[in-house]
Amino acid sequence: MRKHLLFLLLILLLAALPAFSAEYYYEKGDTAFTFSVGVDFPFFQGFTNNETKGFEFGINNTHTYVGGYGALSYESFVTRNLAIGGEIGYAFNNSFAKKILTTIPMTAKLSWYPVQTGKFDLILHANAGITVIRYDDNRFLAPHIKLSVNPVYYITDSWGIGLDAGLWANYEHYGKSASGSKSTESAFGVFAPLTLSLIYRH
């Protein structure tokens, strides 16, 4: 059984190899505009300096429900398989107290296109920037990163639809001089967005 599985994996890998070959569809200077919308799953909150709270996974421990995520991005190819650009997003999740936690990330975006056949792209995105976190009249400006994988099928030469799945993380940092008990409340907020993406390229 195990041998069969290994064999199957080997066949799939060999079949996929041509896609990773150096045949490029894109030219330097091509551009892509992407609109994504979907759901945002709470993954974990990680308290880095707290005796009673550590890394807490899932809805019941993060006290956050599944919410929504949307983003707009624009990129330009700097090589035949690398594109850079920018993205602005919006994520919202309800807490158990029925108050909305929102995150508005503004990031630089790097996309690698290891598979590009003209009809199908496999894209790996890496974003880094800042985000405004807002909850119950409190706001915080935090560093933000996002990693995602995005297979895209092109219906026409210019328009494609894809599925984008990944993780984003914010870090809310408070120093020792922070007011109240916040110095022990520095935390990562990590969420997993799953979105449908609509891509226009030319």
Partner 1 sequence: MKKATIITIVAALLLIVSCNVDSEHGIYYQVATSQPTSGISIIQSLGCIVEGEDVTHIFLSDDGLYSTPSTKGGTELVPGSQGKNIRGAYFDINFPVFIYSDATGTVYTLLGGESTELGNYADYKFEISSNGFAYNKDHYASVPYGVKDAAISNPRFNGQMMLSMDGTTKAKIYTYNSDEEPLSITGLTANATGFTVAKGASSYFVFNDKSVYEVTDTQTELNDETLVVSGLEAAPTGGYKAVQYSDDTNTPYLLVRTSKGFTKINTDEDEVVEKNVQFLSALNDVVVLDMYTIGNSSKIAIVTYANGIRIADMENKTVTDDIL
Q: Which residues here bind partner 1, judged by CB under 8 A?
A: 45, 47, 52-53, 56, 61-64, 95-99, 101, 132-136, 138-141, 172, 174, 179-182, 185-189
Using DSSP's 3-state secondary structure scheme, residue 9 falls into helix
**Minimal distance in Å, beta carbon 138 to partner 1?**
5
Residue 63 Cβ, how far from partner 1 at the closest point, in Å? 5
Considering beta carbons, is residue 49 or 158 the nearer one to partner 1? 49
The Cβ of residue 9 has, within 10 Å, a number of other Cβ atoms equal to 10
Which residues face 95 on adjacent strands? 64
d(CA 195, CA 93): 15
- Identity of the residue, 136 or 157, whose beta carbon is nearer to partner 1 in the bound complex: 136
Q: Which residues pair with 161 in a beta bridge?
A: 153, 198
CB of 16 to partner 1, least distance (A): 40
DSSP 106: E
> In terms of CB distance, is 96 or 159 closer to partner 1?
96
Q: Are strands 159-172 and 100-116 parallel, antiparallel or unpaired?
A: unpaired
Structural contact between residues 86 and 74, judged by C-beta atoms closer than 8 angstroms: yes
Closest approach, Cβ 168 to partner 1, in A, equals 14
Closer residue to partner 1 in complex, CB, 31/61: 61
| Residue whose CB is less far from partner 1, 82 or 88 | 88
Residues sharing a CB contact under 8 Å with residue 159, sequence separation 6 or more, in sequence order = 198, 199, 200
Work out how close the CB of 195 gets to partner 1 at its nearest, in angstroms, rounded to a whole number. 22
CB of 130 to partner 1, least distance (A): 8
Q: How far apart are CA 128 and CA 83, in angstroms?
A: 14
Question: Which residue, 22 or 97, is less far from partner 1 as judged by CB?
Answer: 97
> Strands 82-94 and 138-154: what pairing?
unpaired
| Backbone φ, ψ for residue 135 (5° rounding) | -155, 125
